[in-house]
Amino acid sequence: MADGVELLEPERIHLVEVPVQPLSAVHLEAMNQAWNQALLANPSLFDGPVTVGAGLDRPAPHTLVVSWSRTTYRRFALRLVPGAPVQRSLFVSVIQPTDDGRVLVGRMSTATAAVGRWQYPGGSVEPPPDDVPLDETALRDHAARELAEETGLDIPADRLVRCLVTHGEAGHIGVHYLAPPRPAPLVHQRYEALVAAERARGRAPEFDRIALIRSPADLTGLAGPHVAYLEPVLRRIARRVGS
């Protein structure tokens, strides 16, 4: 475990849906109050469907079973309520290298719930329709969409290769994919075109800034917080990306 984040490289991942944890009347009211306060501070927040992580098991070597539940983003407001049940994220991210061995990271904008935070392109996993399974194909598709929406870089989902699963101290579960290297000038061009298109529509981009970093030492030059898994993941994959 590095910096409170466990780095796993399973051969297989099985995703199992379980009922969402029920809330007491007290916690339900507190959640709604916290969500309404968050909306006042950031009206762009969206209470759409999302998954929460319900558990991670290892029934056999090289196999992970990830339990998840359906809910909406409102439920994450419980993180602001002292003593409330822990709400664990299930998310995907994409490590996008450049052909000179650097990796793309972005800073979350005021249009998001984590303003100023640096992370890899990605986000919380959205649940599929009731009759469609949530599997690795769905995770990979979601990761490709997040990469395009946040950076303007389009890539077929089947070209993303799962490289790591992270398990944080609070139980957050991240599935991380490695994209093929792209030229650094192209990365900047696609991002700048995306930003221009979003602003032309009167919207803020999800990333208000991007950076290309080569090693954990480069993180000191990024003003603001970063997700706990950013540095451990970068340390683990830096040799693969630079080779």
pLDDT at position 2 is: 60
What is the residue-level pLDDT of the chain in tens, covering all 243 positions? 566 899 999 999 999 999 999 999 999 999 999 999 999 988 888 899 999 999 999 999 899 999 999 999 999 999 999 999 999 999 999 999 999 999 999 999 988 888 899 999 999 999 988 888 899 999 999 999 999 999 999 999 999 999 999 999 889 999 999 999 999 999 999 999 999 999 999 988 999 999 999 999 999 999 899 999 999 999 998 877 765
Strands (E), 125-236: 161-168, 173-178, 207-213
- Tracing tokens 């298109």 back to the chain, one arrives at 197
| 42 and 110 Cβ atoms separated by less than 8 Å | yes
At residue 240, the pLDDT reads: 76
Task: State the angle between helix axes of 184-200 and 136-151 in degrees (0 to 180), rounded to the nearest 10.
Answer: 80
CA separation for the pair 137, 150 (Å, rounded) = 20
Q: Where are the domains of the chain?
A: 5-242
Task: Provide the edge-to-edge strand list for the sheet that holds 118-119.
Answer: 118-119, 103-108, 207-213
Is-contact 68 208, C-beta < 8 A? no
The per-residue pLDDT for 131 is: 80
Superfamily of domain 5-242: Nucleoside Triphosphate Pyrophosphohydrolase (3.90.79.10)
Contact 35, 74 (CB under 8 A): yes
Task: Note the pTM of the prediction, 2 decimals.
Answer: 0.95
